[in-house]
Amino acid sequence: MGRDQLEVLNALDVAKTQWYHFTAIVIAGMGFFTDAYDLFCISLVTKLLGRIYYQKRGAAEPGSLPHNVSAAVNGVAFCGTLTGQLFFGWLGDKLGRKRVYGMVLMVMVICSVASGLSFGREPKAVISTLCFFRFWLGFGIGGDYPLSATIMSEYANKKTRGAFIAAVFAMQGFGILAGGTVAIIVSAAFKARFPAPSYEVDPAASIFPEADYVWRIILMFGAIPALMTYYWRAKMPETARYTALVAKNAKQAAADMSKVLQVEVEEEQENIEQGGNDFGLFSKEFLRRHGVHLLGTTSTWFLLDIAFYSQNLFQKDIFSAIGWIPKAKTMSAVEEVFRIARAQTLIALCSTVPGYWFTVAFIDRIGRFSIQIMGFFFMTVFMFALAIPYQHWTLKENRVGFVVMYSLTFFFANFGPNATTFVVPAEIFPARLRSTCHGISAAWGKAGAMVGAFGFQYAEKGIGVRNSLIILGVVNLLGLLFTFLVPESKGKSLEDLSGEGEQENATDAV
C-alpha cells in the first residue's frame, strides 16, 4: 500500500453521501439514544426513590436519599461505563468492531430491564440491586462509545466525516429529551389515575403504593430503542478499514463495502504484507507520535464531563433553589417527578438538542478545534455570569434570566466540547488502536463525570451552589487551555491523520 493507499480506502474517502451513511447514523445513533436515556433518566426519579424508601414517619419534609446512597445511585452507572469503555474499546481492536457491537447492545437491553425490577422490598435490597444492574448497564453503554464512534468514522468520507460522527452523538440529545418525555407521560398518567394530596396536607396519602411502578417503568423503557436496532447492527459488515488495515485482507474489505455502498472498488490482492507501522499502545513510537494527542483528548474530555454531568445531575436542585420547582412538601410524590421532568425536558428542548445539531451543521465547515475552543470559552463565561451574582438570580423577578443563562451553558457545551471530544479520538489514532484510544479518552471523560456525580453531591451541600458553579467555571477554563494539545482533523483522511499513510509509503519505498 503506497502513498495512494488501498483503493478501497480511497473509495471510502471520496464516496458521495448516500443512503447507507444515514442508515449507519441511525443504527449507531440509537445506541447513543439509549445511552443518554439510561444515564440521565435516573436523575428524574431519585427524589421519588427517597420518598418511597426513606420516608420518616412524622417528618416535616418528604423522605430523601441519604447523601451516600444518592451519590451511588447517580454515579454507579458511570463506574460501569468507564470500565466498559476500556474493555470494549480494547476488544473492538482485537476482535473487530462488528463482533463486539451486538454484544454491547444485548448487555444494555438486559440490564435496562433488570434495573427496573430491583428485587426485594426493603430499601437496602432495592437500592443494592438497582445499583448492581445499573453498573452493568453502564458497562454495556461504555462499549457503545468507542465502537459507534469508530464504526462511523471508518464508514464515512473525509468531507462529511465530522458531521456523521457528530450526528451519532447528537442522538444523545433526543435520548435526554425522551427520558424527560417518558417521565412526564408516566407521571401524568399515574397522577390522573391515582390523585394524591401534597405532602404537607397528608404525608401518608401523598405517596400511594402504585407510585413504585413509576420509576421502574421509566428505567425499563430504555430497553426498547436498543432492542429495536439489534437486528440491523447484526447485519452491518465489518468496516473496510479494520478488515484492510488490521485484519490485512483488502479483498474482503472491498467485497464488504461493495455490498452496502455504491462505490467502484478495483480488485485488491487478498492479503496485505505486514508493514512497519505496528507499534503498540505502550511503545516509545506511540508516545512520540500520539502521546500529546492522547493527553489532549483525555484531559479535555475529563474536564468537560466534570462540568457537563454535574450540571445535569444537580439541575433539579438548582431549579428548586431558584423556585422554578415548588418546595417538595407542597407536592405529592408523583407531582414532583412530573415537575422535575418538565423542567429538564424544557432545558433539553431549548438548548441541549439544538446545540448538538449546530455542531453537526458546522463541524466540517469551521473545524473541530474552533468549535471546542468556542464552546469552552462561552461555558466559562456563562458559568461565572451565573455564579458571581448568584443571589441576584435567586430573586423571583430574575428567575427566567437564570434559566436562559443556564440553558446557554448547555447549548455551548453541545455546540462545543461535548460533541468534539467524542469526534476527534475516532479520527486521529491508527486503525488497530483507534477503538482502544477512543475508549481510553472516553473513560477519562467518565472519570470526570464521576467527579461531577459524586463530588458535587457533597460540594453543593458543603460549599453551596454558588461556589460549586465557580469551580465549574474554572474547570471549563482549563478545558479551553488543554484543547491546544488536540490537532485539527477537518477534511483529512484517517490514514493521513494517524500517520499510517506515511508509514506505508516509507515501507513501499524500501
CA–CA separation, 270 and 40 (whole Å) = 46
Phi-psi region of 284 (alpha: psi -120 to 50; beta: other; left: phi over 0): alpha
Q: Are 153 and 427 in contact (CB under 8 A)?
A: yes
Q: Are 116 and 138 in contact (CB under 8 A)?
A: no
Greater confidence, 316 or 336? 336
| Alpha-helical runs (H) found in 415-455 | 417-423, 431-450
Q: Where are the domains of the chain?
A: 17-267+282-500
Q: Provide the pLDDT confidence category of residue 508 given band limits of 50, 70 and 90.
A: very low
Q: Provide the pLDDT confidence category of residue 319 given band limits of 50, 70 and 90.
A: low
Q: Are 470 and 388 in contact (CB under 8 A)?
A: yes
Q: What is the mean pLDDT of residues 116-121?
A: 80
* Torsions phi, psi for 16 (to 5 deg): -70, 150
DSSP code for 283: S
The alpha carbon of 3 is separated from its chain's Cα centroid by a whole number of angstroms, namely: 36
Greater confidence, 229 or 384? 384
The alpha carbon of 162 is separated from its chain's Cα centroid by a whole number of angstroms, namely: 17
Residue-wise pLDDT for 387-426, tens only, equals 888 788 777 777 778 777 877 888 899 899 999 999 999 9
The single residue listed with the C-alpha cell 505486514 is 274
Reply yes or no on whether the pLDDT at 318 is more than 70: no
Reply yes or no on whether the pLDDT at 118 is more than 50: yes
The pLDDT value given to residue 273: 53
Greater confidence, 129 or 260? 129
Sign of the Cα torsion 348, 350, 353, 356 reads negative
| Secondary-structure percent of the chain, ordered helix, strand, coil, rounded to 5 | 80, 0, 20
Q: Is 376 exposed, middle or buried (0-12, 13-18, 19+ CB in 10 A)?
A: buried
Reply yes or no on whether the pLDDT at 460 is more than 70: no
Q: In Å, what is the CA distance from 446 to each residue of 77, 300, 369? A: 10, 12, 21
Q: What is the mean pLDDT of residues 98-102?
A: 88
Rounded to two decimals, the pTM is 0.87
CA dihedral 47, 51, 54, 57 (to 10 degrees): 150
CA–CA separation, 390 and 386 (whole Å) = 6
Q: What is the mean pLDDT of residues 319-324?
A: 64
Reply yes or no on whether the pLDDT at 232 is more than 50: yes
Residue-wise pLDDT for 148-181, tens only, equals 999 999 888 888 999 999 999 999 889 989 999 9
Q: Which CATH number fits domain 17-267+282-500: 3.10.110.10, 1.10.1370.30, 1.20.1250.20, 1.10.10.10?
A: 1.20.1250.20
Range ranked top by mean pLDDT from 267-271, 329-333, 500-504 = 329-333
Greater confidence, 487 or 468? 487
The single residue listed with the C-alpha cell 477534511 is 491
Q: Are 437 and 290 in contact (CB under 8 A)?
A: yes
Q: Provide the pLDDT confidence category of residue 143 given band limits of 50, 70 and 90.
A: very high
Greater confidence, 265 or 482? 482
Q: Provide the pLDDT confidence category of residue 4 given band limits of 50, 70 and 90.
A: very low
Neighbouring CB atoms inside 10 A of 4's CB total: 12
The alpha carbon of 465 is separated from its chain's Cα centroid by a whole number of angstroms, namely: 24
Reply yes or no on whether the pLDDT at 186 is more than 90: yes
Q: Quick one: three-class SS letters along 96-148?
A: CHHHHHHHHHHHHHHHHHHHHHCCCCCHHHHHHHHHHHHHHHHHHHHHHHHHH
CA–CA separation, 321 and 325 (whole Å) = 8
Q: Which amino acid is residue 255, in one-letter code?
A: A
Residue-wise pLDDT for 322-381, tens only, equals 666 788 888 998 998 998 888 888 877 877 788 889 999 999 999 999 999 999 999 999
Q: Are 157 and 240 in contact (CB under 8 A)?
A: no
The pLDDT value given to residue 3: 39
Reply yes or no on whether the pLDDT at 497 is more than 90: no
CA–CA separation, 253 and 256 (whole Å) = 5
Reading the block at residue 398, the C-alpha cell is 430574575
CA–CA separation, 488 and 420 (whole Å) = 11
Reply yes or no on whether the pLDDT at 314 is more than 60: no
Phi-psi region of 367 (alpha: psi -120 to 50; beta: other; left: phi over 0): left
Q: What is the mean pLDDT of residues 301-309?
A: 90
Residue-wise pLDDT for 20-74, tens only, equals 888 889 888 888 888 888 877 888 888 899 999 998 888 888 888 888 888 888 7
Q: Is 336 exposed, middle or buried (0-12, 13-18, 19+ CB in 10 A)?
A: buried
CA–CA separation, 138 and 262 (whole Å) = 37
Burial 28-58 (b: 16+ CB within 10 A, else e): bbbbbbbbbbbbbbbbbbbbbbbbbbbbeee
Reply yes or no on whether the pLDDT at 509 is more than 70: no
Nearest to 13 by CA among 151, 157, 155, 161: 157
Q: What percent of the chain has pLDDT over 90?
A: 38
